[in-house]
Amino acid sequence: MTCQSCVRSIEGSVSELPGVEYVKVELSEHAGYFRYDPRVCSVEAIRSHIEDMGFEAPNDS
Amino acid sequence: MSSTHIFNVEMTCEGCSGAVERVLGRLKGQGVEDFSISLPEQKVSVRSSLSADQLLEVIKKTGKKTTYVATE
Ligand SMILES: [Cu+2]
Ligand SMILES: [Cu+2]
Q: Of the ligands numbered here, which is closest to the C-alpha atom of A55?
A: 1
Q: How many domains would you assign to chain B?
A: 1
Report pLDDT digits (tens) over B59-68: 999 999 999 9
B59 min Cα distance to partner chain A (Å): 9
Report pLDDT digits (tens) over A3-59: 899 999 999 999 999 999 999 999 998 899 999 999 999 999 999 999 999 999 887
Report pLDDT digits (tens) over B24-51: 999 999 999 999 999 999 999 999 999 9
In-domain check, residue B46: no
In-domain check, residue B33: yes
Q: Amino acid letter at A47?
A: R
Exposure of A59 in the CB half-sphere (CA atoms within 13 A): 1
- C-alpha dihedral, A33 to A36 to A38 to A40, nearest 10°: -130
pLDDT at A60: 60
Tell me which residue in B15, B20, B22 faces A3 most closely, judged by beta carbons.
B15
Exposure of B19 in the CB half-sphere (CA atoms within 13 A): 33
Nearest CA in chain A to B57: A53
Residue range of the domain that includes B23 = 3-38+51-71
In-domain check, residue B17: yes
In-domain check, residue B9: yes
